[in-house]
Amino acid sequence: MYAVDQWQQLASSFVLAHHTLYNVPAAPLLHIGLSAGLSALKTPSCYSNVPRPSMNFFSEIPTSLCPICSPELNALARNVPYAQHVRNIVEDPVALPNGRVYSQANLEAWGKKQMVEPGRVKDPLTLEEWDISALRKVYVM
């Protein structure tokens, strides 16, 4: 009756009764709200094991633009489902030989920043390189 684990069980029971009585969710409301927004942004590449450099085309500071990949939100987003992106707006889309689709202008800008030799492109996620003639134009209807 006086065991230490009994006090912990009594405290947990009290907190559960309080939350049930006052209809308070177990998780903080801020986490619930953030989880809804994070699930709209989460993609499989957020937890990829492939090391990749920053894809920030507009700044020289090596930071990620992805909020899911940030250390502050990464743990919170781990349990939310992936986003179901049906359509993404990409200007002048091209497909790489590995099947990934990117904007040709962004690929060239990123390649210039990564010092890829002219006439070649590099996949930002897998870091594979191909000749620019290997790109296939993608048409979205």
The reported pLDDT for the residue numbered 54 is: 54
Q: What is the DSSP-derived secondary structure letter of residue 99?
A: S
10 within domain boundaries: no
79 within domain boundaries: yes
96 within domain boundaries: yes
Read off the CATH number of the domain in which 95 is found: 3.30.40.10
In whole angstroms, what is the distance from residue 96 CA to residue 121 CA? 9
pLDDT in tens, 49-95: 655 555 555 555 555 567 887 778 888 888 888 776 656 667 788 99
Torsion of CA 62, 67, 73, 79, to 10 degrees: -130
In whole angstroms, what is the distance from residue 138 CA to residue 34 CA? 34
Q: Are residues 71 and 102 in the same domain?
A: no
Binned at pLDDT 50, 70 and 90, residue 135 comes out as very high
Q: Tell me the average pLDDT of the chain.
A: 81
Q: Are residues 39 and 77 in the same domain?
A: yes
pLDDT in tens, 36-61: 888 888 877 676 665 555 555 555 55
Q: Are residues 46 and 81 in the same domain?
A: yes
Print the domain residue range for 98: 88-141
pTM, rounded to two decimals: 0.44
Count of domains forming the chain: 2
Beta-carbon contacts of residue 51 (< 8 Å; ≥ 6 apart): none
